[in-house]
Amino acid sequence: MTAIRQATLADAHAIATIHVQSWQHAYADILPAEALAALSVPEREAMHQRNLARSDAHYLVAERNGDIIGFATWGITDMEGAMLYSLYMAPTAMGEGVGGRLLATAEDEMSHAGATAAILHVLISNLPTRRFYERHGWQLVPQSDQKEEFFGISVNTVTYHKMLTTPAS
């Protein structure tokens, strides 16, 4: 059974490992091999430790049999909006439906925090991930192409938007 729960500082290493592995897997045909090879679990772990220690950090993990197999991060962006910053699964856990459960939980949390809508950014050439979000009700924002930098790598992204369900009173 897979459980979705709040992440703790103790999860930082597992989150970092998934972060690096998922980038190396998902972006193998999109980003330069040398850039992907240079991704560092210790650097990602330090970043996630800093973020998890913040009081406004919103981290979720998917855990199966004591092992973290995915994570999502999000934050409130303004009075009515939120942003899904990341959702990554261990390559061995992709395609099992856990990512959809993780996404739904993040959406519920954003809504409970008062957000009525959410956005996210996806690499423009990452078609499997774009289809994943579209299957879960996210819509491409027209003409949202932009350049962003991740881990020192310049990439082209597009923005997706979703109206969130208001929690029952």
Q: What domains appear along the chain, each with residue ranges and CATH number? A: 2-163 (3.40.630.30)
Q: What are the distances in angstroms from CA 74 to CA 36, 58, 77?
A: 24, 5, 9
pLDDT at residue 72 above 70?
yes
pLDDT at residue 40 above 90?
yes
- In this prediction, residue 39 carries a pLDDT of 92
Band (151; pLDDT cuts 50, 70, 90): low
Q: In a 3-state reduction of DSSP, which class is residue 64?
A: strand
> For the chain, what is the mean pLDDT?
93
Rounded to an integer, the average pLDDT of 145-168 is: 85
Q: What are the distances in angstroms from CA 83 to CA 18, 49, 159?
A: 20, 20, 10
Rounded to an integer, the average pLDDT of 87-94 is: 95
Distance CA 85, CA 80 (A): 16
Neighbours of 28 (CB within 10 A): 10
| Residue 91 Cα to chain centre, angstroms | 14
Half-sphere exposure of 42 (CA within 13 A, CB side): 1
Band (167; pLDDT cuts 50, 70, 90): low
Q: Which residues contact 70 (CB under 8 A, 6 or more apart)?
A: 18, 61, 62, 87, 88, 89, 90, 93, 98, 99, 102
pLDDT at residue 105 above 80?
yes
Whether the Cβ atoms of residue 70 and residue 87 lie closer than 8 Å to each other: yes
